[in-house]
Structures are given as C-alpha cells and as structure tokens.
Structure 1
Amino acid sequence: MSVPDLRNYRKDAVSGFLRDRRGGVAPDPTSPVFDPVGDRRVSGMRREEVAWAAGISLVYYVKPEQGRMLNPSPSVLAGIMGALQLGDLDRRYLRLLFGVSSLPAAAVSSEDNRRARGVLEAIADHFPEATMRHILDRDLTLTLPDEQSRRILFPGVDDPPSQVSLVEYLFSPENRAVSRRVYVDRREKAAEVIRLVHMKLATGAASAALRATVQMLLEEPSFRSLWGRYVPYENRIGTWRVDLGGTDDPAAPTVRACRFFTVTVPDDPDLSIVVYE
C-alpha cells in the first residue's frame, strides 16, 4: 500500500470513501444489472450496480471513484449518496469533499478563542467530581486542566504534561504504550481519533502542524490500515472503558466504563470541553 499524500486528500478521500461504502452495501437482486452467477469477487455492490441505482452511466460513476472528478452536479451526487445508502454524517462528509456544502473553517480571533476557553473552563468547574476533563482544540490538542486528568492519561509519570496532541498520544512511539494501557478499547479509540482527523481535513480546520503529524504517521502500515476507510466522526457523547490506575493488584480492577459528553460554544466551534463522568 502506497503512502497517501495529504496534498491530494480530497481526491484520495473521495476515491477511498466511495470504494469502502460500495463494499458495505448488499446488491439489489432485482436490479437489471445484477448478475448472481457472474464475477462477484468484490464484496458489496459492483460499480455497475451503483451506477444503475444512482441513475448515471458507469463511465460517469467510475470517474469520482478513481478520483478523476471532484465537481459532480447536485443530481449526480444525490443519486450516488442514495445508491450507497449513506447516513447523514457520511452525506455531509462527501459534500464537504466535493466542496458543495459548508464554508471553509472560519478564522477565529485570539480574543474569541480566549473567551471560549474561559467559558469551557467555567463549565468544567461545574463538574468537580468528574473522572476526567479535557479541552480539545481544532488541532486535536488536549489541554488537561487538573492533576487528576493528567495522572489518568499519564500513569506513573512524575510530571505529566498539561497538554498533548491526541493524535500523538494514541500513535506516537513514546506514548503508544501508555494510551494502550489507559484506553482499554485502544484500537476503537484510535479509529475514533483518525475519524476526527478526517473531519478536520474535510472541513479545512486542520492546521499545517496537524497535517504534518498525520503525514509522518502515514508512513506506518498500522496507521494506514485504519486511515484508508475514510470514515468521518464527530464526538458528542459516548462511553470509553478507562483504566484509572493506582494499583498493581490484579484482584483490584481499576477499569471503569466512563460516559463522556462534549460541549462547544459559538465563540470558537472547533474548541470543546470533554467531561468523563
């Protein structure tokens, strides 16, 4: 597998996204192009079946799947999304990749950012008994406002950092072993972070620093295997199993299923507070 170049992100993402979603949709046996005895070496729908369901020619469908067309008409795009049975978030993501919805990420002034951080820190103060709290910015950098949160994410570290890139925390060689211990379902957590990066790239919110970090990690096959499905994600609520640490006694488990919720404010919509209950 070749290493993706993020300078070609839109083209690669459209191509990878369409191939992946096509492979996940069962073919319609009533379709006139369905061949139950022919070559079905691919999972899911064949390109001919997607094109027929979308009401377009095969030649026209193949172009975006091969990354050769990034400006389909609204009717063509609607047909493809319907044929692939896309959900709301997938539809938004594909529209962003084709540049037909949402404006580029707006620049946020330092004053807006400062005001947003103040509001989020005040919200965090309303949950003094929370298991863990962190502020997540547009670069997916975690700011850990309290010692307990820092100790949980960096068990056994004498002076845990107050800030860390979420991407580097999950994937960098120096943090990988730590995050694997803390997040019991580490592979699922890693997949979530990659999906968050896909949304940052699609919306244009990813900075040069975040793009450079991801480009470096794409050299690793394990990272690329999670990257290539082009699944978008926006975290709002959910549950993660977290090892809270504090003991080496196997008879005293320290894993807790922590529900989390995410709050943003209008001053800086790419800044959020995540509270683990």
Structure 2
Amino acid sequence: MSIPDLRNYRRDAVSGFLRTQRAGASPDPSSPAFDPVGERRVAGMRREEVAWAAGISLDYYVKLEQGRMLNPSPSVLESIMEALRLSDLGRRYLRLLFEDNPPQVACTAAGDRRLARATLDEVVAHFPEAMMRHILDRDLHLVLPDAASRSILFPDLAEPPEELSLVDYMFAGQYREHSRRVYVDWRDKAAEVIGLVHMKLVTRVASDELVATVQGLLHDPAFRRLWTRYLPCQNTSGCWRLRLPDDDGRTTVRDCRYITVTAADDPEQCLVIYL
C-alpha cells in the first residue's frame, strides 16, 4: 500500500470513504443489479449495485470512487448517500469532501481563547469526584490539569507530561505503550482519534503541525491501515474501558463514562470529563 500524501487529501478521502461505506452496506436482493447466482468477490455492495440504486451510470460512479471526479451535482451526491445509507455524520463528511471552497471557520481571538480556557478551568472545579479530566484544543493538543489524570494515562511514569498531542499519545513510539496499556479497546480508541483528525482535515482547521504529525505516522503500516478507512468521528459522550491502578499495585478494568463540555468563546476547545 502506497503512503498517502495529505496534499491530495480530498481525492484520497473520497475514494477511501466510498469504498469503506460500500463494503459495509448490505446489498438489496430485489435490485436488478443483484446477482443471486454469481460469486461475490467483495464484501458489501458491488459498484454496479450502488450505481443502479443511485440512478447513475457505472462509469460515473467508478470515476467518483477512484477520486477522478470531485464535482458531482447535489442531486447525484444525495442519491449516492441514499444508496449507501450513510449516517448524518457520514453525509456531512462526504459533502465537505466535495466542497470547492473551504467552510467558514471562526477565527478565535487570543483573548477569547484565554477566556475559554479560564471558563473550562472553572468547570473542572465543579467535578471534584471526576476520575480523569483533560482539555482538547483545535489541534487535539491534550492538556492534563491534575496529577491524578496524568497518573492514569501514564502509569508507572515518574514525571508524566502535563501537555502533549492526543495523536502522539495514541501512536508515537514513546507514548503508545502507555495508551495501549490504559485503553482496553485500544484499536477502537485509535480509530476514534483518527476519525477526529479526519474531521479536522475536512473542515480545514488542522494546523501545519498536526498535518506534519499525521504525514509522518502514515509511514507506519498499522496506522496507515486505520487511516485509509476514512471514517470520520465527532464524539461528545460515551464510555471506554480503562485499566486503572489499585492501591496494591495491580490494575482493575473499569467502564468509564465521559462527557464533553465545549467552551462558548472557543468552540474548538473542550473539556473531557471521565466519571
């Protein structure tokens, strides 16, 4: 598998996302394009079935899926999304991929960013019993405001960092052993973080630093396999199984719910609280 070049992100993402969604969609046995006798060589729907369901030619759909056509009409795009039965997030992601002009992104002033951070720090104080708390900014930069949170994410590390990239925590060599130990379902968490990065790229808010970090990680085949599924993610709440240290030095697996609080003055800055 070749290494994707993020300068070609829209083209590669259109191709990868459509292929992934097609592979996960169940074919319609009543479709005239469905072959009940022939051997199916691919999972999910065949290209012919998607094209027929969307009311477009096979050649047109093939060009779309290969990233050779980035200007379908709104009606064609809607038909493809219906044929693949995309989720609301999947629909938003695909529409953004076909946008010629970047979406308008609010440029938060430095003063508003500081005010937002101060507000989130105040919110933290209202959750004294929270198991873990951290702040995420636009570039998925992770800020750990207390020692308890740092000790959970970096067990057995004498001086855990107070700030680092969430992407580095999950994938960089010096931190990956910690995230693998803490998150029981590490692969699912890794897919979530990659999905968050996809949304940063498609909305054009990712910094050059974040882009460079991802481009470097794409040389890792394991990271590349997850990346090229092109599955976007926007999480606000949920649950992760974490390995937590006991007083006797052993670890216990615990289901930990989390909620996300977004700062009104800076929507790209949020507080994540594990309960």
Q: Which amino acid aligns with 2:258?
A: F
Q: Which sits farther off after the overlay, 34-43 or 15-24?
A: 34-43
> Residues 101-140 of structure 1: matches in 2 within 5 Å?
103-140=103-140
Residue of structure 2 in register with 1:201 after alignment: 201
Deviation at 1:62, TM superposition (A): 1.3
Deviation at 1:74, TM superposition (A): 0.4
> 1:247, 1:254 within 8 Å by CA — same for their partners in 2?
no
Q: 2:256 aligns with which of 250, 258, 261?
A: 258
The total of aligned residue pairs comes to 275
SS of equivalent residue, structure 2 residue 261: strand
SS of equivalent residue, structure 1 residue 117: helix
Measure the CA separation in 1 of the matches of 2:248 and 2:176. Answer: 20
Q: Which amino acid aligns with 1:70?
A: L
Deviation at 1:255, TM superposition (A): 2.5
> 1:47, 1:61 within 8 Å by CA — same for their partners in 2?
yes
Q: Which sits farther off after the overlay, 100-109 or 117-126?
A: 100-109
Residue of structure 1 in register with 2:171 after alignment: 171
Measure the CA separation in 1 of the matches of 2:186 and 2:44. Answer: 28
Measure the CA separation in 1 of the matches of 2:247 and 2:93. Answer: 43
* TM value normalised by structure 1: 0.95
> 1:16, 1:230 within 8 Å by CA — same for their partners in 2?
yes
Measure the CA separation in 2 of the matches of 1:73 and 1:176. Answer: 43
Q: Which sits farther off after the overlay, 151-160 or 50-59?
A: 151-160
**Closer, same or farther in 2 for the Cα pair 1:110/1:249, shift >3 Å?**
closer
> 2:102, 2:204 within 8 Å by CA — same for their partners in 1?
no
Q: Which amino acid aligns with 2:91?
A: R
Residue of structure 1 in register with 2:189 after alignment: 189
Deviation at 1:248, TM superposition (A): 6.0
Measure the CA separation in 1 of the matches of 2:148 and 2:12. Answer: 41
Q: 1:274 aligns with which of 269, 272, 275?
A: 272
Deviations 1:173-200 (CA, angstroms, capped at 9, x unpaired): 1011111111122111111111111111
Measure the CA separation in 2 of the matches of 1:226 and 1:91. Answer: 20
> 1:105, 1:205 within 8 Å by CA — same for their partners in 2?
yes
Deviation at 1:243, TM superposition (A): 1.9
Measure the CA separation in 2 of the matches of 1:239 and 1:33. Answer: 41
Deviations 1:147-197 (CA, angstroms, capped at 9, x unpaired): 111111111222211101100001111011111111122111111111111
Deviation at 1:245, TM superposition (A): 1.9
Measure the CA separation in 1 of the matches of 2:46 and 2:13. Answer: 19
Coordinate RMSD, CA, aligned: 1.6
Deviation at 1:102, TM superposition (A): 7.8
> 1:104, 1:204 within 8 Å by CA — same for their partners in 2?
no
Deviation at 1:32, TM superposition (A): 1.5
SS of equivalent residue, structure 1 residue 27: coil
Deviations 1:87-143 (CA, angstroms, capped at 9, x unpaired): 101001101111179824332211111111111111111101100000001111110
> 1:92, 1:101 within 8 Å by CA — same for their partners in 2?
no
> 1:138, 1:206 within 8 Å by CA — same for their partners in 2?
yes
Deviation at 1:235, TM superposition (A): 1.0
What is the percentage of aligned positions where both structures have the same residue? 63
Measure the CA separation in 2 of the matches of 1:217 and 1:225. Answer: 11
Residue of structure 1 in register with 2:59 after alignment: 59
Measure the CA separation in 1 of the matches of 2:38 and 2:186. Answer: 41
Q: Which amino acid aligns with 1:232?
A: P
* TM value normalised by structure 2: 0.96
Long gaps (5+) in structure 2: none
Deviation at 1:60, TM superposition (A): 1.4
Q: Which sits farther off after the overlay, 93-102 or 204-213?
A: 93-102
1:219 aligns with 2:223: no
Q: Which sits farther off after the overlay, 185-194 or 36-45?
A: 36-45
> 2:134, 2:142 within 8 Å by CA — same for their partners in 1?
yes
Deviation at 1:246, TM superposition (A): 4.6
Measure the CA separation in 2 of the matches of 1:213 and 1:193. Answer: 13
SS of equivalent residue, structure 2 residue 135: strand
